[in-house]
Structure 1
Amino acid sequence: MKAERKRSFLEQLRTAFVIVIMIPVLCLGGFIFYSSHRYIKEQRLMESSNLVIQNQTDLNNWAKQCESSLRYLAGNFALQEFLKMDVNQYIEVNKAIKNVNPLLYNVILTNRYYKNISVYTDKEYHIDTSLIKNSRAVMNEEWYQEIMNTTGIYWWSSGGEMYIGRKIVTAYPVSTIGIVVAQLKKETFENSFQMFQQIPVKIELKDKDTVIYQYGNENDNDSWGFRQNRALADTGWEISYKVDKKYFSKNVFVSLGMPMLIICLVLFLAWFCIRILTRYLMRDLSVLMEEVNEVQNGNFDVEIQSSATEEIYVLTQSIQGMLGKIKQLIRQVYAKEIERQDLELNLLQAKISPHFLYNNLSAINWLAIDCGEEKISEITTEMATFYRTALNKGNNIDRLSVEITNIKSYVNLQLIAHENEFDVEYDIDESLLECVVPIFILQPLVENAIEHGIEELEDIRGRIKISARQEEGCMYLEVHDNGRSLYEKIGAGAMRPENYGYGTQNVHKRIRLLYGQQCGLTITADKTGTTSIINLNMKDLRKQIS
């Protein structure tokens, strides 16, 4: 019998999209949006260009008017006659100044772009006016030299101010008798650039590469949608116009409101039709979801029904295979639990009778006291403390304080055996002392630190640091020694767990069995020595023994 062909769920969905003409609608909407956006951008580009042309015309007229007033002053007969007078003719000079002062002030008043006017001459007039000045103080200035070497008008900026200047030259005989300088009002540019106040623009007035005046956005970036550089009349200055790129797409959606609304309405109707069609097409998938919910509630024996749709058929087979793997993993978890119990049993079997041990140590201690052997008494006391905390009445977990007491007794015994040849430092966070941890996990680490680190040192004194700290939801128990034997074997880095010794492997396995794969023991080496770190998750540690 010929096998039934599985229908593609994707093909059915594509058929639904073709029925409601989703793709043509989206293409039409995209075309409308693109065309409208392009039209708005072109209109705003034209608007920006027209404003630049208008502003350029205004500023050119401003420059020509400024130059016209300066030419008038430089060629004024009364001013030239005054500058040719002998400074010792006091009466004639004072009579002439009465005509010159009103002339200068009248130009300042009639030309609204002038802030001040100064006439420089090499003569020393003894008159009461601030407009006629001796040129001796400015003769070495660059602008003065430029004016003297220029036949026309010279424009420059200094100290944030703008100036224009021109030589005063007599017609016959031809000679330079002074210069006239006008200081310009910067407000002229601000008023002229007000026409751009609705546009995010940055305008810079430059004298060569030096920015004389800036208007608008001070944040310089490369996101400019419009740039133009134009010369300012015959001043030698240049005006740079830049418009932010965002301006050309600003409020586009407001302008496209009605077309977008129509497109959204069509899409909504299309989506409504698709929902009806897909509800019909998803009948098999709905049945599959009900079966998966059964699995979620703990029923792993549910029978997953097959489907005539190819994709759903593959999915049902995959879920069926996944259920088989879950059952297998559950069996593995049971096996791990049995392994953990066996490990604890092995640990208990390795212990000796605590009462027998305590009684004998106590007898040795009293005999040592009677004989005055304080060293032997100290050793038996530390051994009693060590084995009391190690055996711990058969408990495999206890407070961290008990584990710290155990390791201190063990270290004291080692110090006696090694005649205090190394130093020990403890850095324990007291807030962690009530947390419950597996017992006898620090002793193998300290034993390794002494046997493979401290005992192999020759030139320097051995040092061991034992610490307990809390960081980012984890407890870290750390043993560090300054031995370099592991560093000389593996270099700087972490030791692979499979290369751990028997004792450290036992600690690593116990922690992982009790707290999961994210916890365990890490041993690293560097130039400063060897560090063994036990990582325990704080949320798994109880604050008191139940």
Structure 2
Amino acid sequence: MIRLARRFLDRLRFRQKLILTYLVISIIPILILGMYSYYQSKTFLREQALESFQRNVDVISESVQSNMDHYETMSSLILYNNVVQRILSNRYMDLYNLYLDFNQFLNPYLNMLMNLNKDTTQLSIYTNSQLPEYGEYINKIDRIKALPWYADVEQVKGVKWYHEDDSLFLAGPFPKLYASDRSAVTVSEDNVLYIRVNNRTLFADLPDTLCQHWVFLVDGQGASIYSNHVMDTQTVALMGKIQNSQMGETSIDGTKMLMIKQAIPRTDWTLYCLVPYRDIVEDSGSIVSATLIIAGICLLILIVIISLFANSMIRRLYRLNNWMKRAEDGELELRIQNTSRDEIGELTDRFGHMMQRINELINEGYKNKIIQKEAELKALKSQITPHFLYNTLSFINWKALRSDDQEISHMVTSLSRFYRTALNRGDNIISVRDEIINVQSYLDIILTTSGHSFDVFYNIDEEIYAYGMINLILQPLVENAVKHGINRKTDGGKGLIEISARLHDDTIEFSVRDNGPGIEPQRLAELLSTPTAGYGLKHVDERIKLIFGAGFGLTIEEVEGPGACMRVRIPRQAV
């Protein structure tokens, strides 16, 4: 795996490696900060939700307690009412007084309390006195003695809340009251007040945030007093499981939940609130989205900054690499400019110094080579004594004229012109006119000796005559055309050599073309690279490049049909 990763990195370009390194270094802290922010926000939301649900549970508890206090106050209005106490303790001797107490006080009073508390489903006084039963208000105590809660209520002072068979009620014995002289009023202790209420009214103010969750009110025996869900099998099973669970985070049937429980004062009841944990942290999704968006924006900004920084550095490397490629392709005279002072700048400066030194060495080598070639040419020229040669040729021409041999005279005259322009008084620079005369003289001699076996066509632009060039450039081309072109012609037609010269902007272009058999492709590539025994084409090309630069020289081209074409390109310059 490490080897594959290393191989992958080795194949990347430096710019890609640089950006990848910056991204990795930058993304890691962003991811760490993002994860830390997410978990901190999640923890904060959990604590905030826990506090919110705890407040809601407190609200429920206070609401339940308030409603219970309301009914306990109602019970106090009955238990401690002197008239009610008197009616319960009085032994009526006639039914008329009983009728008056029941109809003028007890019934209106209890009706008033029932109307003020419409959620009261039953209000009854169970008595052991001689009073007759009167609707639901007055009943014999024998009706409740067999009930389970009766034995407990005898021991209660005041009232106590009970839950039985889905019924919620409070009950309590009537206390003893004393007259103003502190003598006890005879009241039976077997008088019990019973008030049954709609248990849903205790939870009338359930907060909306808890309506979608589980809320249970359970008594000391584990029986459900209230549930905001239908008490089906699943709800009953859930209620049974939470009673053995600790407050806080818990897991029920694999579901993570948050449970809050709180005891109801003066009762053995416990209020349970159960909230799925996913509902608490569901808002964390928005935090995750916000975190990802912020991280994405930061990453985009970072990528832009990294790209700008990387480009500023890579651009200089690309420029340096481009200079090196141009130098590799032969463009050695480069203008290398650099203003930076970092490591890349130092590398660029050193490359510039190296190219400058290479150019100095090349120029020195070129100069030495030019000096060597010119020395060889001068040595060749020095073998000929101009005055002796010219005098001899003049004498031969005089003898030919006396003998009326015009052909010999013409050949001698051409030979004289040829050597005069070739030697050029020892100067390497000659006018274009004299170079053309040199070629014409050479061709006149060749035509004479070959019996005019081929034709010569001149296409010279007269504008070029005023400019200068290196001597002995065209003659080797014409000699090569005669020797390897015209002399090897086998198709039976007459040979033709065409010499052209044209002015192109700041350059002069010469061409020598023949209609011989042409040059083989493999031989074509060797003519300018392989040295020959004499003053060949490679030597001509080297002389031009040494004097005028690498942009000028000799080229050999393939032509349509038979023959070959050699072109010389030199700069336009005055003699």
Q: TM-score, normalised by structure 1?
A: 0.45
Q: TM-score, normalised by structure 2?
A: 0.42
Larger radius of gyration: 2
